[in-house]
Amino acid sequence: MLLIADSGSTKTDWILTDGKLSTSRYNTIGYNPYFIDTENIYQSISQKLISQFDASTVKNIYFYGAGCATLEKVSIVNKALSRCFPAAEISVGHDMLAAARALLGNSKGFAAIIGTGSNTCIYNGITIEKNIDSLGYLLGDEGSGCYIGKKIVGDFMRVYLQPELKQQFDAAYHLTHPEIYESMYSKLLPNRFLAGFCKFAHENKEHNYIKKIVKDSFNDFFINLVSRYPGYEKLSFNCVGSVGFNFKEILSDVALSYNMKIGKLIPFPIEDLVNYHLNKMAV
């Protein structure tokens, strides 16, 4: 059996398949090694994933995850997977590579992620050829759910939200300023906390304030990331991620304003990743 995972900072999508008759889907929390250690990854996978099937039947695992960009961080995830699946050959790669393979397959081009975080790359059909560091949620991640959520929370705390939006925000979250500070500076996964407010943006996406917040965020994404790639205008804009997909009309308008043709826009890469690896195995 082949097990493929796409892990962001918020959630992980898993597909277990024999490539022919049997395919099963599962979901767990996200396993970004910057925010979770080997033991907690192991405990979560043991309780939420392998309790649902026979782990000994898994022979190959391709795990793609946010934060899995260095040997140290890859090792954190690899050790947990090895404990859970001792009979499997395991490959751990970055979620940017997953996005590129899902969006472009074996073709060259530009690929982006706009979900909880954001990222970009030039892909040569096999590996990532060039990547501008997204810098994470504190310094960058322009265009992402976290970036948009941070703007909304900041305006809420400074009482910049328009009255009708402030009323809706209060009714939805019942958050005090001390509670927000605690979630951002004392609790685990502050990036996920901030990205959670993208749901509020999506629910109010026809409001002019929200449209401006989202458009400004995507503009920052193009200014600081996309437009820094030489010759980017000659490439189509391909993107994976729930935020990019949910606001695809605004994203498409911004991309076109930077003279990029719209390519493939998908919410999740997992199914395309499965097809990519099954095709590789068939060759």
* pLDDT level of residue 21 (50, 70, 90 thresholds): low
Q: Identify whether the C-beta of residue 8 lies closer than 8 Å to the C-beta of residue 30.
A: yes
> How high does pLDDT run on average in the chain?
92
CATH superfamily, with its number, for domain 2-99+270-282: ATPase, nucleotide binding domain (3.30.420.40)
Say whether pLDDT at 1 is over 90: no
Say whether pLDDT at 9 is over 80: no
| Nearest Cα to Cα of residue 155 among 190, 128, 180 | 180
For the chain, give every domain's residue range.
2-99+270-282
Which amino acid, residue 16? L
Q: What is the pLDDT of residue 10?
A: 78
Q: What is the pLDDT of residue 232?
A: 95
Say whether pLDDT at 251 is over 60: yes
Q: How many angstroms separate the CA atoms of 205 and 200, rounded?
A: 8
| Nearest Cα to Cα of residue 100 among 276, 256, 282 | 276
pLDDT in tens, 48-90: 998 888 888 999 999 999 889 899 999 999 999 999 999 999 9
118-123 vs 128-130, strand pairing mode: antiparallel
Q: Which residues contact 216 (CB under 8 A, 6 or more apart)?
A: 151
Q: Which residues contact 226 (CB under 8 A, 6 or more apart)?
A: 110, 112, 120, 232, 237, 258, 260
* pLDDT level of residue 191 (50, 70, 90 thresholds): confident
